[in-house]
A and B are shown apart, each in its own frame.
Chain A
Amino acid sequence: MSDDRLTIAGREFRSRLWVGTGKYKDFVETKKAIETSGADVVTVAVRRVNITDRNSENLLDYLDPKQYTILPNTAGCYTVEDAVRYARLARAAGVSDLVKLEVIGDERTLFPDTAGLIEAARILIKEGFVVLPYTNDDPIVAQKLVDIGCPAVMPLAAPIGSGLGIRNPYNLKIILETVNVPVIVDAGVGTASDAALAMEYGADAVLMNTAIAGAREPIAMAEAMKYAVEAGRLAYKAGRIPRKLYATASSPIEGML
């Protein structure tokens, strides 16, 4: 699999499993889970620093930005203005123009506000950002995001943190067929088979956080996800057999008594 690299906007990625860094017990567990997952892209959020507790540790003390691609998100932003502001802050705090753009439309579902997403993406692309948009499983919106210059799209499998797996495989398949940029399935994965399935459909990568961090044994689940994504990718490239209603014997009839 070493030659099977994922390329987005001229950047090469080794792993097709991307992971979030939220919800872990502590930074030690975060680091261990991410190392085990084999991921080389990690998402982070941008928030106020704690100025009262000066001994508070920094996430980047545990995740070396030289070793990982740090992908800041605009999670928690419900308006175009907020998402653009957080993206700019992320760029100022970091080292790259990459942003995982989220414009959230609703608190209960955390579904994206796709109209706001397109508007925010347009503004940020004009400012030189590499915008990776967290979007709905809507092929039309995905194509619009590509048309305005997003070098990849990140459709959800299911609501963030829901663990429901791929709710709309047919829409996902249409997106995979119609857009000519990498597709990263983002959010909603519950267990290893969900990730494998996304990769078997032809997704270019899978991004997850809660499925690993929220598992009873996060480190073990990180390992499971690593293999699931690799297995799914290999199966996709190998080409599955067609589904048939009736049996086809795999042992020859010839030579039977």
Chain B
Amino acid sequence: MRIQVNGEPRQVCEEINVTDLLRDLQLNVERVAVEVNLEILDRRDFDAKTLQEGDRIEILSFIGGGT
């Protein structure tokens, strides 16, 4: 199925959850925030959150910044 990750279309398996997606992207679960269709997820819900066709996912983390 097709989803959108950080604005880019992406083909993923059916039944994929957020933890699976982060693993595919080689991202550290502890260092990111995930928003699915504008809803921010609690890290504890990454396993339970199964993605659907057309979902819009945003993955963010801390970068260098001042004011």
**Which residues in A have some Cβ–Cβ distance to B below 8 Å?**
19-24, 27, 30, 43-49, 51-52, 54, 58-60, 70, 72-73, 75, 88-94, 100, 102, 110, 134, 160-161, 186-187, 207-210, 213
Contacts and interface: CB of A to CB of B under 8 A. Distances in A.
A94 B32 CA distance: 8
Contacts of B42: 92
16 contacts: A21-B64, A21-B65, A30-B64, A43-B65, A45-B64, A46-B60, A46-B62, A46-B63, A58-B31, A59-B62, A59-B63, A59-B64, A73-B67, A92-B42, A186-B67, A208-B66
Contacts of A59: 62-64
Contact of B62 (A44, A100, A134, A210): A44
Contacts of B58: 48
B65 A93 contact: no
A93 B60 contact: yes
Given A102-B67, A110-B67, 10 more contacts: A20-B64, A45-B63, A47-B61, A47-B63, A49-B25, A54-B26, A59-B63, A91-B33, A92-B33, A93-B32
Given A51-B6, A89-B60, A46 B33 contact: yes
Nearest to B8: A51
B34 interface: yes
Contacts of A92: 33-34, 40-43
Contacts of B28: 58
A34 B8 CA distance: 35
Chain B CB within 10 A, most for which of A49, A70, A160: A49
Contacts of A60: 31, 61-62
A73 B40 CA distance: 17
Contacts of A72: 62
Contacts, number: 112
Contacts of B20: none
Interface string B2-30: 00011110000000000000000111100
B35 A22 contact: no
A209 B66 contact: yes
A209 B65 CA distance: 8
Among all A-B residue pairs, the 6 with the closest Cβ atoms: A20-B66, A209-B66, A45-B65, A93-B33, A92-B33, A44-B62
A88 B33 CA distance: 9
B1 interface: no
B60 A48 contact: yes
B65 A44 contact: yes
B65 A89 contact: no
A45 to B, nearest CB: 3
A213 B63 CA distance: 15
B24 to A, nearest CB: 10
Given A89-B40, A92-B42, A93-B60, A48 B65 contact: no
